[in-house]
Amino acid sequence: MPPDINAPAGGLRGRRLSPMMLLVLCGVVAAALAMGLRQSFGLFLAPMTAANGWTASGFAFAIALQVLVNGISQPLCGQLADRIGARYVLMGGAVLYTLGMLGMALSDGLPLFTFFAGLVMGVAVSAAGMPVIMASMTRLLPEAQRGRATGLGTAGSSFGQFLVVPLAGFGIAGFGWQGALFVMAAAALLIVPLALPLNDRPTPLPATPAGRAAAAAEETAGQTLRRAFRSTSFWCLFFGFFVCGLHVSFLAVHLPGFVASCHLPSYVGAGAISLIGLFNVAGSLISGELTQKWRRRELLVAIYASRAVLMAIFLLAPKTTGTVLAFSAVMGILWLSTVPPTVALCARNFGTRWLATVFGLVFLGHQVGGFTGAWLGGLIFDRTGSYDLMWIVSILAGVFAALVHLPIRDAARPAAVPA
């Protein structure tokens, strides 16, 4: 049963965490840990390829495969979470995280490494990832608290990237790449106890006339998906999130290279990525608050339009250390601020019963966009020797995303869904 969020804190006169606060805290920490572990894999490219004699492209293919498997398996993990509850899916994802990283550490060849880093970790990231956590918190919390909670969860993911990635780097320096993977595999098991409060497993309806009537009226997963696929709002969210993934992957993968091509010191590129993660904490929190006060549709239009304007200004500005870091700070505020209003619009238009499934499908668009941004950026640079065309593509994509959100249905109240 979901926790009683209105229950008193107990006999400690308010000093004990309420069920609602514990739910949010565990969800935020679980999201931070999962995202931090996942974003650390790039640190292992140099030491693992040097130690095993692998090619960089072979290692990169395994990680790219992980992104695609994550996108494909996310709706399936969401469907499982909708049926049995996020708690058990997250626990299973934590176990897969551990098995995947142990397999990565012990792989003696690229095919085996690709299996664990690409396939096993791709499913693990879906099962213990942000969409499942966000859907669970949205189901368990009252509507007035959902935007703030998803903002906190998104901020937690970025803070996990900001905190865990440097710790993984220290682990590689102190224990070697294999020892660091062993420690990270053990740390992934911490998600298991953190998943305990996320108990959103559907309660069986009583075998009474009223219960049978409610069961007959309840929308099935197939009915919800058919309604979503026929909905303009769903496809607007899908293609908007595609653009979000394109932007995020292009910058995460190619911004350091772009900085190097501008003949700036290498630490500027590293600092740019770090600043994006740090400022995204603030951006996600702000977006979560605005999701509770503004129409979600207009908020998303503003975010994507702001990205397009920011990229256009940056493309035309002189490339100095100051402009790169200023661009990174502002882009960090806009980085994953799209998540809280996107989750809220999925819930408003399609209900919360199958939210992990619906948002998982929207998230598939994000991951396909992520693959496109990473691949297209490299292709354009190889063909032209410059990233200028990719910046123009990203600017136009931002304009498209701003416009494509305008037709989305954003009623003052959630769409009527059979209870």
**Alpha helices (runs of H) in 85-142, residue ranges in sequence order:** 86-106, 110-114, 121-127, 130-140
Q: 254-271, pLDDT tens digit by residue?
A: 888 788 888 888 778 777
Q: Tell me, what amino acid is at 373?
A: G
CATH fold of 228-404 reads Growth Hormone; Chain: A; (1.20.1250)
Q: 124-146, pLDDT tens digit by residue?
A: 999 998 888 888 887 787 777 77
19-194 shares its CATH topology with 228-404: yes
Q: What is the mean pLDDT of the chain?
A: 83
Average pLDDT over residues 18-25: 82
Average pLDDT over residues 43-50: 82
Quote the CA–CA distance of 416 and 214 in Å, as a whole number: 15
Any idea what DSSP says for residue 409?
-
* The pLDDT value given to residue 419: 38
* The pLDDT value given to residue 414: 42
CA-CA-CA-CA dihedral for 232, 65, 41, 198, to nearest 10: 50
- Say if CB 154 and CB 335 are below 8 A apart: no
pLDDT cut 90: percent of the chain above it: 36
Q: Tell me, what amino acid is at 230?
A: R
* The pLDDT value given to residue 15: 52
Q: Band of the pLDDT at 47, cuts 50, 70, 90?
A: confident
Answer CATH for 19-194 from 1.20.1250.20, 2.60.40.10, 3.40.1360.10, 3.30.450.20: 1.20.1250.20
Q: Which of 49-63, 217-231, 264-278, 318-332 has the highest mean pLDDT?
A: 318-332
Quote the CA–CA distance of 101 and 180 in Å, as a whole number: 10
In this model, does residue 340 exceed pLDDT 70? yes
Quote the CA–CA distance of 193 and 261 in Å, as a whole number: 45
pTM, full prediction: 0.73
Domain boundaries, the chain: 19-194, 228-404
Q: Band of the pLDDT at 9, cuts 50, 70, 90?
A: very low
